[in-house]
């Protein structure tokens, strides 16, 4: 407290840096999914789109379009296809551009 006070007087800044150290509880937080393009066929992707309750997943001609902003990290896609979906472990997802939250996941080519 005393050190903090003296440092604040000397520098004129009393706020601290963030993050001072990684948070130990961060790995228990729910995180949005990460997809495995090698296991992601069109059939699997269609099942994932159906399983998603918040319309975060959409299928277009070439890719699975994943809107991170709409995702509630409920884990239903990971339950639907555990081989193709796993937790990404990322939770610091703030964006200054809305389109930066929309990701295109390539599909596996099927013959």
- Which residues of this chain interact with another protein, rule CB under 8 A? 12-16, 18-19, 23, 26, 29, 32-39, 54-56, 66-75, 78, 82-83, 86-88, 90-98, 100-101, 103, 105-106
CB of 70 within 8 A of CB of 77?
no
CB of 26 to another protein, least distance (A): 6
Closer CB to another protein, 43 or 104, in the complex: 104
Closer CB to another protein, 47 or 102, in the complex: 102
CB of 40 to another protein, least distance (A): 9
Nearest Cα residue to 44 out of 72, 85, 73, 89? 85
CB of 57 to another protein, least distance (A): 11
Closer CB to another protein, 41 or 87, in the complex: 87
CB of 47 within 8 A of CB of 91?
no
CB of 103 within 8 A of CB of 95?
no
Burial of residue 65, with CB atoms counted within 10 A of its CB: 0-12 exposed, 13-18 middle, 19 or more buried: middle
């Amino acid at each position: 407290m005393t050190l903090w006070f003296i440092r604040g007087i000397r520098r004129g800044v009393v706020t601290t840096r963030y993050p001072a150290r990684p948070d130990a509880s961060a790995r228990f937080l729910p995180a949005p999914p990460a997809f495995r393009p090698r296991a992601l066929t069109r059939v699997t992707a269609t099942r994932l789109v159906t399983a998603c309750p918040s319309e975060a997943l959409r299928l277009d001609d070439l890719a699975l379009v994943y809107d991170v902003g709409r995702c509630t990290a409920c884990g239903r896609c990971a339950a639907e296809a555990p081989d193709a979906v796993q937790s990404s472990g990322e939770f610091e997802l703030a964006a200054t551009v809305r389109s930066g939250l929309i990701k295109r996941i390539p599909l596996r080519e099927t013959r």
